[in-house]
Amino acid sequence: MYSATWGCGGNIFVYGYVPGDNYPDMPVYPPGDYGADGNCGIKTYSSKDLTNWELVDFYQPDMGVANVMKPLVPQAAPGATPGELRGDHLSHDFDVLVGSDNTHYIVSDPFLGTIPSADGGLTWDIWVQQLAPDLISTVNTSETTTLVRSAKQLFDQNLTLEATGAFYDGYYYLMFGQTCQNCAGYIYYFYSESPMGPYKDGGYVSRDGCGGQNKGANVLPTPDGGSIVLAGNLGYRTGPDNSVWSDGTQSYVWHGDNHQAASSTYFFPIEFNHDHTLKSYTCPSKVQVPLMGDLKKSPDAPLPYQLDCRVRNWKSIDATYSQPKSGATLEFPVFQRTDNLGPTTNAGPMLNGPLTVTLAYANGATESFSWAASNISWAPAKISMNTSGKRVSKITLETNATNDCYGTVVQPKQDSRSSYGSTVLGKFVKQRKAELYVYKW
């Protein structure tokens, strides 16, 4: 699985300020549209069971666009250096599929020709192009390029489509999510017997995207020589009162956010009708995928980790241990987020204050560590503190930032001698079912 990485700042995170250190003054970033905040690089993961994933590689190019999510990335030759794909109509979201004769095609919805829609989203053209045999450019001829739908056509259908996903399974299928930030929006698709079309409207397969935004489909082999198609989406675990909007006829909970690094990845199977159309999604909580290779039993499900972004200038996060923990190094993940001020507008590309972690030791001593916002990623990444074997009885995360929150990761409670929660004005509120996820003591 290849996935865009949101965990680094690129050239937009210049420097930060930590009290007591000799840093220049922090730059002031006005609220605005900073695009894909923190987006740079591609991480590669491998899995033998589609449940447990291991990091294989991290490629961080000096480029502005990286948005891939399927087990296929064009590669010119073994050991070739990744580069920027050459051709027209290649900006914004895209996906790559392999056709019936092993020819590769790229589907894209470039920024050019956008039309604002009634619901505040954007509508843009949809293109299919054949890739050259070396897979590093498009063929770029009239016979190998097709405009599936123009922005005007989609606007007339009241469709705002992005988050492209494409695959071949007897027919060619182009799937799109609603234009939003990984929100629970509709999924719409087109299909054709030929990669160059014409493409028929398949219609909606989901009105809520199974809780997320469409992010492609993966055709996987089965032991009997067949295949199973797993669709993917990126979604948030948010509350029912997160944000509500109306299209004039019905109100929807907007499970979206400009901070797209906070999304989780979900997979679910695509089912087909006899006429090659797609069945509506049922969004199962569990998916049965045929085991491959020498696997004899299904893997155990991983713990349901969850992000908790509540460290603000008026609220701290505390983890306490009645039986203190000890070790040479303490490591756990943290991340940051800035306030949403509009559909694509944030309160700056990073927080305007540092993250401070204070450790209370069993002997009564305390020790504080600080990180500039420029050193905190948008996706959870480990921070490390040298504790030299001292026994830790309490961990407190706090900040003086005023443009949103720092966060960490929690897991289901396993240690009965630990407590986790938030503190406001000296009052501690315990989360009874959660505990701080600690990578290393």
Amino acid sitting at position 373:
A
Of residues 33 and 310, which shows the higher confidence score?
310
CB 73 within 8 A of CB 4: no
Centre a 10 Å sphere on the Cβ of residue 307 and count the other Cβ atoms it contains: 21
- Please tell me whether the peptide bond between 61 and the residue prior to it is cis, using omega within 30 degrees of 0: no
Three-state secondary-structure class, residue 260: helix
Of residues 425 and 349, which shows the higher confidence score?
425
Report pLDDT for 64.
38
pLDDT mean over 313-333: 96
- pLDDT band of 85, cuts 50, 70, 90: confident
pLDDT mean over 169-197: 92
Report pLDDT for 166.
93
Q: Mind listing the pLDDT tens digit for each residue in 411-437?
A: 999 999 999 999 999 999 999 999 999
Report pLDDT for 81.
57
- pLDDT band of 226, cuts 50, 70, 90: confident
DSSP output for 104-164: EEEEEE-STT-EE-TTS-EE--EEEEEBPTTSSBB--SGGGEEEEE-HHHHHHTT--EEEE
CB 197 within 8 A of CB 126: no
242: left (phi over 0), alpha (psi -120 to 50) or beta: alpha
Rounded to whole angstroms, how far apart are CA atoms 278 and 271? 6
- pLDDT band of 28, cuts 50, 70, 90: low
pLDDT mean over 328-336: 94
- CATH code linked to domain 306-436: 2.60.120
Of residues 376 and 3, which shows the higher confidence score?
376
Rounded to whole angstroms, how far apart are CA atoms 320 and 304? 21
Amino acid sitting at position 9:
G
Rounded to whole angstroms, how far apart are CA atoms 280 and 273? 10
Encoding tokens for residue 50?
A: 């589609």
Residue 51 predicted with pLDDT over 50: yes
Residue 205 predicted with pLDDT over 80: yes
Where along the chain do its domains lie?
Answer: 67-269, 306-436
Residues β-bridged to residue 266: 233
Report pLDDT for 25.
52
Residues β-bridged to residue 338: 404
- pLDDT band of 72, cuts 50, 70, 90: very low
Encoding tokens for residue 148?
A: 């599936």
Report pLDDT for 246.
57
Q: Mind listing the pLDDT tens digit for each residue in 276-295?
A: 999 999 888 777 787 777 77
pLDDT mean over 27-53: 62
- pLDDT band of 57, cuts 50, 70, 90: low
- pLDDT band of 321, cuts 50, 70, 90: very high
10-25 core/surface letters (b: 16 or more CB in 10 A; e: else)? bebbeebbbeeeeeee
Encoding tokens for residue 126?
A: 């949809």
CB 153 within 8 A of CB 123: no
pLDDT mean over 149-153: 95
Residue 40 predicted with pLDDT over 80: no
Report pLDDT for 255.
56
Of residues 239 and 274, which shows the higher confidence score?
274
Rounded to whole angstroms, how far apart are CA atoms 389 and 441? 9
Of residues 366 and 342, which shows the higher confidence score?
366
CB 109 within 8 A of CB 176: yes
pLDDT mean over 348-355: 89
Three-state secondary-structure class, residue 373: helix
CA 234, 236, 241, 244 torsion: positive or negative?
Answer: negative
Amino acid sitting at position 198:
P
CA 202, 207, 212, 213 torsion: positive or negative?
Answer: positive
Phi and psi at 417, nearest 5°, equal: -100, 15
Residue 104 predicted with pLDDT over 80: yes
pLDDT mean over 187-214: 94
